[in-house]
């Protein structure tokens, strides 16, 4: 009789998980649609709602980080990018969002350093590593341009 209770409990838990997964996916899809329509605040609301059903879903944090970037809310983008990395540190998009937010917050040097570390952590993901390498090239160019501009300002002083 005890086994039946455990089995029934397991079945109920499995059903609840399935319902949560389905609801999470539905909210995520609505967020994606809102994002495509450039309705970033709405997309953030859907991704946040989806997180209630799947709080450890790294994709949701990465998607929401991109929305924050589009809204120029770089601090929240940084936080969500970091959370995506914590949840899955071998996933390139989380690192990409985190580094992008660092750049946009004016932390170019930290962005370059974080990008290098991301390339090491994500080396087994060929498509993602390409994006990180391209981002690294852009970050270094940004850093060089900022240093050149700083040098030009010093010449005028």
pLDDT tens digits, residue range 55-103? Answer: 999 999 999 999 999 999 999 999 999 999 999 999 999 999 999 999 9
Considering the domain architecture, whether residues 149 and 92 belong to the same structural domain is answered as yes
pLDDT at 19: 85
pTM tops 0.85: no
Asked if residues 68 and 95 have their Cβ atoms less than 8 Å apart, the reply is no
Instruction: Please indicate, yes or no, if residue 65 is contained in any of the structural domains.
Output: no
pLDDT of residue 146: 78
- Give residue 109's Cα distance to chain centre: 20
Average pLDDT over residues 136-149: 88
**In a shared domain, residues 48 and 106:** no
68 in a domain, yes or no? no
d(CA 135, CA 133): 5
**Same-domain check for residues 16 and 92:** no
Query: Exposure of 127 by Cβ count < 10 A (0-12 exposed, 13-18 middle, 19+ buried)?
Result: exposed
23 is in which domain, residue-wise? 10-55
Same domain for 133 and 106, yes or no, is yes
Nearest to 21 by CA among 70, 67, 61, 57: 57
Question: Are 39 and 88 members of one domain?
Answer: no
Residue 134: the pLDDT is 96
* Residue 23 covered by a domain: yes
Quick one: pLDDT band at residue 116, thresholds 50, 70, 90?
A: very high
Q: At what angle do helices 92-104 and 126-156 cross, to 10 degrees?
A: 10
**Mean pLDDT, residues 115-130 taken together:** 94
Angle at 15 between CA 12 and CA 21, to 5 degrees: 140
Query: Are 30 and 107 within one domain?
Result: no
Q: Are residues 79 and 154 in the same domain?
A: yes
The whole-angstrom separation of Cα 113 and Cα 140 is 10
96, 136: one domain: yes
d(CA 29, CA 47): 9
What is the domain count for the chain? 2
CATH of the domain at 147: 1.25.40
Indicate whether 132 and 78 sit together in one domain: yes
């Amino acid at each position: 009789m005890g086994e039946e209770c455990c089995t029934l409990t397991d079945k109920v838990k499995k059903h609840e998980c399935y319902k949560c997964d389905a609801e999470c996916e539905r909210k995520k899809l609505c967020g994606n649609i809102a994002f495509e329509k450039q309705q970033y605040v709405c997309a953030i609301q859907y991704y946040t709602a989806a997180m209630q059903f799947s709080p450890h879903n790294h994709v949701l944090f990465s998607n929401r980080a991109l929305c924050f970037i589009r809204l120029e809310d770089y601090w929240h983008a940084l936080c969500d990018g970091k959370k995506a990395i914590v949840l899955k540190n071998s996933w390139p998009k989380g690192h990409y969002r985190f580094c992008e937010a660092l750049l946009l917050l004016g932390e170019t040097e930290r962005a370059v350093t974080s990008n290098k570390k991301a390339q090491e952590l994500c080396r087994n993901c060929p498509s993602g590593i390409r994006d990180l390498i391209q981002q690294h090239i852009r970050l270094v160019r940004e850093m060089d341009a900022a240093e050149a501009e700083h040098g030009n300002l010093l010449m005028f002083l």
